Structure formats: structure tokens, C-alpha cells
Structure 1
Amino acid sequence: MTGIASSPVLLVLAFTGAYWNATVVIHEVSEHIIAKPVKMNAALHNQSLSIEKLRETSSRLIDSFNATYLVLPYEPDMNITFYGVVNSHNPLNSEYGSLVTFDKNSGDVTFSQDIRKTDTLTVTLDSFRKLHFGYFAGLTSKIMWCILGLSPVFLSITGFYLYWQRNRRKRNARKKRKVANNFALNT
């Protein structure tokens, strides 16, 4: 019964985790193994840019945008990106769903994405974060995800116990048959 009850949560955990792992592996293989790695000696962005001014600009570009995460370039082809949260009726929109990207040299806006105005695929992929970690309904969903996520541990312990009991019964039955056979031969 535990396995049946926890299977939807475990499927969500498996699917979202597999998606993230696959995207990271594909990126690492294509950018760092197939393509020739680039040696970095200098700063990857203009050091005179004001990060605070860029954050203020991002808040003006998207209505109710609150920056929650900043990514500075750590690879040569990256720009400065602010990820953030916006007021939304969708409980599965993450705090990283909307973003504003600035050119790393000039500070000009190169891209912005309001999760409320994007396509279904982007909204679905953004929902993976809250679905994977189970924090879409507050403490209740966190507790449910924790308990149901630990069900494989419970199932492995109970499975081992049942296996051990079955083997113990088989050994005891074998011993009883042997004693009975010895008794029958001696009489």
C-alpha cells in the first residue's frame, strides 16, 4: 500500500530529476568535451557596471518582478542574468521563472521573460522546481513529499525483513524434515 500511495510522488521526483540531470550532462558534453574548452584569464564582464542599477532596471522591465538570484558570467558566452519571482495565480511558478538578461559589456537589456506571458513548455519546465522539492503548498506539501519520498527506505527495510523471515522459515522447515527423516530411518 505504501508503494502505491507514494508512486505518483516518486514518479514526479524521478522525471524532474532525470530531466535536470540530462540537461546538465548534455550541456557539459557539448560545451566542455566536444567544443574546445576556452581558457579564461580576465574578468568575464565589465567590472564598472553597477549590479544594483541593473537590478533596478530589471524591476522596472517586468511588473512586480523581485530579483531572487543573480548569475554573473562564468563562461565566455554568458551574460548577466537576474532571475526572479512575479505575482502570479499559478502556485507552481517558481521564484526563478522570470528573468532579465543584460549584455555583460554594455549593460543593455538583451532578453527578458515574464513567466506569466510565456509558452506552456516554459511554464511546465519552471514548475519542475516546486514539484520536485514539494514546496508548492507550504508546509503540508513539504511534509507529504518528505514522508512519501522516504517510502523507498521503508519499503526496502520491510522487504528485507520479509525476505529474512521467509528464509528463516525455510531453514527451520528443512531442519525439521531432516530430523523427521533421521527419526524415520532410525526406527
Structure 2
Amino acid sequence: MPTKPDGVFVIYKKLPGDTEDFNGSVKLDQYSGKVLAVTDSRVAGLGDRILNSFTPIHYGTFGGLPTRIFYVFVGLAPTILMITGLVMWWLRRKLKKPGAIALATSE
């Protein structure tokens, strides 16, 4: 919905030959319904085709279920690294306490 008096309606459409994303669009005047612009991804220029190819890569929809599972693991990697880093820091801090070194060397 347009939020300004000079705004337009934008309708996104998946055209035949498109991948999973909606790259085709129609812009309509909010008062008269007149078509202001039509974007057809099938006849887009090279730059638009390159930019449109990033969408399935960004959302992980290009390789089916295996790619989505891989994206889950990649998404969880920072959390796992943070947890293991905190555990390593805590254990190292625990060993640096006075008496902890003596206990560690006496074994």
C-alpha cells in the first residue's frame, strides 16, 4: 500500500522461466490504476540478471533440502564457536587461579 500521496502500488509476479523468486513487477498509479512501469525479468539486462541471481543464494533456495540443511549448520556455527570459546576461556581462567597451577603440576 502506498504511504505517500505520490506513492505507487507495486505488484510482484513470478513469470514463466523465473526461478523461485519474484523478479517481475508492475507499478500502478494509486489513484487511476494506470500502469506506470513493467519489469520483465526475462528481458532484463545483464546487471539485473546478476542481481536477481543473488536472491536464491541469499535465501538458500537454489539446491533444495540439502542446501537448506547446510545453511542451518552454517547459521549455527557462530553460536557453537561462541560457546566453545567461552568454555575454553572459563577453563583457562580456572587454571590460572593460585593453587590451581600447583595442583596441575603435582599430578
TM-score, normalization by structure 2: 0.78
Give distance in 1, aligned partners of 2:42 and 2:31.
29
* From 4, 13, 33, the counterpart of 1:84: 13
Give distance in 2, aligned partners of 1:140 and 1:155.
23
CA RMSD of aligned residues (A): 2.3
TM-score, normalization by structure 1: 0.48
Secondary structure of 1:150 counterpart: helix
Structure with higher RCO (Cα < 8 A, 6+ apart) = 1
Asked whether the equivalents of residues 101 and 112 of structure 1 are also in contact (C-alpha less than 8 Å), the reply is yes
* From 100, 108, 118, the counterpart of 2:44: 118
* Number of aligned residues: 102
**Offset at residue 137 of structure 1 (A):** 2.0
* From 21, 26, 42, the counterpart of 1:94: 21
Name which of structure 1's ranges 137-146 and 110-119 shifts more when overlaid on structure 2: 137-146
Whichever structure has more strand as a proportion of its residues is: 2
Asked whether the equivalents of residues 94 and 127 of structure 1 are also in contact (C-alpha less than 8 Å), the reply is no
Give distance in 1, aligned partners of 2:65 and 2:16.
20
Unaligned runs of 5+ in 2: none
Asked whether the equivalents of residues 79 and 101 of structure 1 are also in contact (C-alpha less than 8 Å), the reply is yes
Change (3 A) 1:77 1:125: farther
Whichever structure has more helix as a proportion of its residues is: 1
Secondary structure of 1:99 counterpart: strand
Unaligned runs of 5+ in 1: 1-71, 181-187
